[in-house]
Chains A and B, each alone.
Chain A
Amino acid sequence: MSRTEPYARTIPHPLFERMIINDAKTPDEAPWQPERQHEYGYFPGCVDFMDVEVKFSHLNKGDADHASIAAAAIKLMNAAGIDPLILDMNSFKCCGHDQLWQGQLEVFDELKAHNLRRMQESGIRTLVVTCAEGYRTFAVDYDLPGQGIQVEHITQTLRGRGLKFKSPEPVRVTFHDPCRLGRMMGEYDAPRELIQLVDGAEMVELENSREKALCCGVSSMMYCNDATKAVRKKRLDQGTDAEIQVMLGGCPKCYMHMQCLLNEERMDPGEHNHSFEMLDLMQFLSACLVEEAT
Chain B
Amino acid sequence: MADDTGNLIGEYQQERQAEDAAERIGRRTEFTRETPRQAHSVLEASHVKGEPLYPHELVRDSVLTLYVTSILFFLAAFIPPPLHRAADPAAATAFPPPLPDWYLLWAFGCLKVAWDIEFTILGHHFFLMTAKVWGTLVQGMIIGMVVAVPFIDRALGYLIDPGPKEGMMDVLNSGHARRPIEDPVRAAIGVWGLAFVVMLSIYSINANIVLYYPAVTTAVLAGVTLWGPLACAGLTYLWLDRRRAEGARPQSDEERFDLYRNGITSRRTQRIYEFKLNRCYQCGLCDDICPVRTNEGEEELNIIFNTFQNEHDGVAMWSCITCGMCTAICPQNIEYVDYVLEQRAIALQGAAT
Contacts and interface: CB of A to CB of B under 8 A. Distances in A.
Contact present between A and B (CB < 8 A): yes
Interface of A: 1-3, 6-7, 9, 100-105, 109, 143, 179, 183-184, 186, 211-212, 214-215, 217-220, 222-223, 225-228, 230-231, 233-234
Contact of B315 (A219, A223, A234): A223
A234 B348 contact: no
Contact of B327 (A3, A100, A183, A227): A183
A234 B289 CA distance: 14
Contacts of A6: 315
B210 interface: no
Interface in B299-353: 300-301, 314-315, 318-325, 327-328, 341, 343-348
A96 to B, nearest CB: 13
B88 to A, nearest CB: 74
Given A103-B345, A186-B168, A234-B291, A222 B325 contact: no
Contacts of B301: 7, 227
A97 B237 CA distance: 44
B347 A101 contact: no
Contact of A101 (B295, B325, B344): B344
A103 B319 contact: no
B328 A217 contact: no
B216 interface: no
26 contacts: A6-B315, A7-B301, A7-B315, A9-B314, A9-B315, A101-B341, A102-B344, A102-B348, A103-B343, A109-B263, A143-B261, A211-B328, A214-B291, A217-B321, A218-B321, A219-B323, A222-B318, A222-B321, A227-B293, A227-B319, A228-B319, A231-B292, A231-B295, A231-B323, A233-B295, A234-B291
Contact of B322 (A101, A105, A226, A233): A101
A180 B295 CA distance: 21
A234 B295 contact: yes
Given A179-B323, A183-B325, A227-B295, A103 B168 contact: no
B38 interface: yes
A2 B325 contact: no
A7 B348 contact: no
Interface of B: 38-39, 168, 261, 263-265, 291-293, 295-298, 300-301, 314-315, 318-325, 327-328, 341, 343-348
Contacts of B348: 102-105
A160 B292 CA distance: 37
B168 A227 contact: no
A100 B323 contact: no
Nearest to A218: B321
A105 B260 CA distance: 12
Contact of B296 (A103, A109, A214, A230): A230
B237 to A, nearest CB: 32
Given A2-B300, A102-B348, A225-B315, 13 more contacts: A1-B297, A104-B345, A105-B345, A109-B263, A211-B168, A212-B325, A214-B323, A215-B291, A222-B319, A227-B292, A227-B295, A227-B298, A231-B295
A219 B321 contact: yes
A215 B321 contact: yes
B323 to A, nearest CB: 3
Nearest to B327: A183
Contact of B318 (A1, A179, A223): A223
Contacts of B264: 105
B344 to A, nearest CB: 3
Of the candidates A7, A103, A143, A186, the one having the most CB atoms from chain B within 10 angstroms of its own CB is: A103
B26 to A, nearest CB: 21
A231 B263 contact: no
Contacts of B300: 2-3
Contacts of A226: 296
A183 B322 contact: no
A3 B320 CA distance: 19
Nearest to B293: A227
A183 B323 CA distance: 8
Contact of A231 (B291, B314, B344, B347): B291
Nearest to A217: B321
A276 to B, nearest CB: 20
